[in-house]
Amino acid sequence: MDDRVGTTLHTGLLISTTAAMAWLSGLPLLFPSLGPSAFVLALFQDSDATAPRRVIGGHAIGVAAGLFAYHLFGASVTMTTVADPGTFEGLRLAASSVLATMLTVAGMLFTDTRHPPACATTLIVSLGLLSTLLEGALIVVTVVVLVAAHQLLLATERVGARYEEQFRS
């Protein structure tokens, strides 16, 4: 199969997993940073960039940094409610997002869990979009499910390749 088609299908299957979970549970199990994570997993498959430790660790650091920054600066304000330019509330969210991004990058670099989509996760949390402890935990659980689905897809692809090779022999 063409790598472009395979990557597209792999990405779609990964997002379908979390989309189905979100639909069936009614929980916020779909969020913007999952798309880039699914794409990285599908595109690079078995590389160091897709190591579960990096993907899950990066998002976990992003969640922790986002929660810390949001509750330090932005608590009770969300990006969707700040409408007026130059408000103190807007400044609080801006400070929250800057601090969260810096903490996420530093955390990923110090722990060797670099996963760029985690910077989107930290913004989602630090801007008050998914900023409770429960929502943070749901983000991490969803990323774990995404990585597990990826590992399952890779395993089935390997089995399929072995059977295909046996039939050719």
Q: What pLDDT, on the 0 to 100 scale, is given for residue 81?
A: 82
- Over pLDDT 70: what percentage of the chain? 91
Using CB atoms within 10 Å of the CB of residue 13, give its burial: 0 to 12 exposed, 13 to 18 middle, 19+ buried. Answer: middle
Report the run of H or E that residue 148 belongs to, with start and end. Answer: helix 133-168
Q: Which DSSP symbol is given to 74?
A: I
Please say whether the beta carbons of 42 and 11 come within 8 A.
yes
Q: What pLDDT, on the 0 to 100 scale, is given for residue 92?
A: 94
Q: Which DSSP symbol is given to 73?
A: I
Q: What is the spatial distance between Cα 124 and Cα 63, in angstroms, rounded to a whole number?
A: 9
Q: What pLDDT, on the 0 to 100 scale, is given for residue 143?
A: 98
Q: What is the spatial distance between Cα 126 and Cα 156, in angstroms, rounded to a whole number?
A: 37
Q: What pLDDT, on the 0 to 100 scale, is given for residue 157?
A: 79
Q: What tens digit of pLDDT does each residue of 53-101 get?
A: 999 999 999 999 999 999 999 998 888 886 688 999 999 999 999 999 9
**pLDDT beyond 80 at 1:** no
The pTM of the full predicted model, rounded to 2 decimals, is 0.91
Q: What tens digit of pLDDT does each residue of 139-163 get?
A: 999 999 999 999 999 998 776 565 5
Average pLDDT over residues 23-35: 96
The size of the chain, in residues, is: 169
| Start-to-end Cα distance in the chain | 20
Whole-number average pLDDT of the chain: 92
Using CB atoms within 10 Å of the CB of residue 135, give its burial: 0 to 12 exposed, 13 to 18 middle, 19+ buried. Answer: middle
